[in-house]
Chain A
């Protein structure tokens, strides 16, 4: 009888909140470890009580990832949101799109006039960041997730570090980053340094925002790799995420999201940063978003979580990648 190799796989539908837990981006400087038992490192919640996320694969899933400037010991949800990304997952296509928002983007914040987007969380917590982004894009989010320095570091450490193909060396003393180019295993501290570094990047915060997307993709790839080799690793990632998390999202939904994350092909993730022009308002650096591109990208993304090739802006790190 001929040797037979057959397999059957049935993975329930899902998304990449597990990934989000691990790579929620952060900026700023680090300080020594503190007792953090009292406050969660990470929070994930359903965006709207009246809007039940559809997790059966028939619709795209939108997740707002917020990286707080909070240092260890500080309240994650009360400081500036220095990293803001919309992650759109199209489960049917096994694809994901990551859209970064420059932290200095001048945008209308409901109830607070037009100011830099990173101030929204100081004024109204993650809920106001959510409202701001939804108003800006017209996209209704399914979930939001928030983390700070410690949560970011801890979660990467607890899953054993992050394997990443760093496309260019990142040396930035302000971020304590000294990361050579090439495929390597990043510790939680390394990943945090990579996420914070912007002075070494020609496009500054635009380039850093794109690097946050790279961390998300690396985490996604690692989750998928580990899941393929040993599906029970999914539970390890969920455990690592939730042990440091605050969330009212039912575990079943989180499981479903995690399963969905494993179905996304990391090589087919589109990672962009909203284009804009840098300027000054007094002594404050500001970014004026390109409104035409903002509307085009938002409209394109809303329908299926995907971007047409023509709507993908050039990489802010193109100079380093060439």
Chain B
């Protein structure tokens, strides 16, 4: 059943593909005699074809083909496209009036680069880009990045914070276009980073199962605090998808990839 999934998406092409069909022999008796006469040589001749076919099947099993995996019906082995947000302005807010603002600025930039941005990268990768998540509509690992009760609210906002619970039925592939973050870092009375706000903008192009394309546009603000790692304590995120044109075809010779884009 699973194997049919890729073909099911392209039925005309699958049915019209005759490259592997054998030539039709009109006379049944002649076919029988011929088959008998050429039984051994034909088996030898067919061996490479069988091997190629087996290789194709094996590839589909391992890679999931165009989106329908065979093993367990999922796409656990389909990699998420590499994506990194671009970090823009980092603003510092302090509560100590005579704090060394230059030192805080340096510390803030190091913090967001080394600790905060990877969390945001993971949030959007888990939510929108990782096929292992969206094909199943399972984003459990994403919610671990939210603190306490906020995680519960995040789960109830699945259609905003992720590609959606039913994304596997709707989307064929998702390719990240770009993403940017600006930060504000609040330092506490001991000049330690206390709260970080991240203003996030993200855009990806998704191909739907019906062959059309939409731009996935996600934007919002996150408040993060450190609690066994930096986690989201509050968020205000919106998603505003819109129809878009298919991406420009890859240059001649290039192989289109569902997962090859970068931020």
Contacts and interface: CB of A to CB of B under 8 A. Distances in A.
B233 A232 contact: no
Interface string A229-248: 01110111011001111000
Interface stretch (A4-12, A168-176, A213-221): A4-12
Interface stretch (B6-14, B26-34, B58-66, B193-201): B193-201
A3 B241 CA distance: 6
Contacts of B161: 8
B34 to A, nearest CB: 55
A159 to B, nearest CB: 12
Nearest to B239: A6
Contact of B237 (A8, A12, A37, A236): A8
A50 to B, nearest CB: 24
Given A1-B208, A232-B197, A251-B189, A10 B242 contact: no
A238 B242 CA distance: 37
B238 A1 contact: no
Contact of A251 (B157, B188, B234, B241): B188
Given A238-B186, A239-B186, A243-B97, A10 B197 contact: no
B5 interface: no
B85 interface: no
Given A10-B157, A239-B95, A1 B234 contact: no
Contact of B242 (A3, A231, A242): A3
A103 to B, nearest CB: 30
A283 B7 CA distance: 98
A238 B208 CA distance: 45
A206 interface: no
* Chain B binding surface SS class: strand
B221 interface: yes
A238 B95 contact: yes
Interface string B218-247: 001101010000000111111111110000
A5 B240 CA distance: 5
Contact of A12 (B150, B208, B239, B242): B150
A1 B184 contact: no
* Chain A binding surface SS class: mixed
B87 interface: no
B96 interface: yes
Nearest to A9: B236
A264 interface: no
A259 B236 CA distance: 13
B160 A8 contact: yes
B94 interface: yes
Nearest to A11: B234
B234 A259 contact: yes
A255 interface: yes
Nearest to B92: A239
B229 to A, nearest CB: 17
A11 B150 CA distance: 9
Contacts of B240: 3-6
A251 B186 CA distance: 10
Nearest to A237: B93
A242 B187 CA distance: 11
A113 to B, nearest CB: 40
A3 B243 contact: yes
Contacts of B120: none
B214 interface: yes
B221 A8 contact: no
A10 B234 contact: yes
Nearest to B218: A6
Contacts of A235: 93, 184, 186, 195, 197
B239 A4 contact: yes
A5 B161 CA distance: 13
Interface in A1-54: 1, 3-12, 37
Given A1-B212, A3-B243, A231-B221, A10 B93 contact: no
A13 to B, nearest CB: 10
Contact of B236 (A7, A238, A245): A7
B239 A7 contact: yes
B238 A11 contact: no
A8 B188 contact: no
A177 B241 CA distance: 51
B80 interface: no
B241 A255 contact: no
Given A3-B241, A3-B243, A232-B199, 20 more contacts: A1-B208, A1-B212, A1-B214, A5-B239, A10-B157, A10-B236, A12-B223, A37-B97, A37-B98, A231-B197, A234-B197, A235-B184, A238-B93, A238-B95, A239-B186, A243-B96, A243-B97, A251-B195, A252-B225, A255-B195
Interface of A: 1, 3-12, 37, 230-232, 234-236, 238-239, 242-245, 251-252, 255, 259
11 contacts: A1-B212, A1-B243, A3-B242, A6-B160, A8-B157, A232-B197, A232-B221, A235-B184, A235-B186, A236-B93, A239-B93
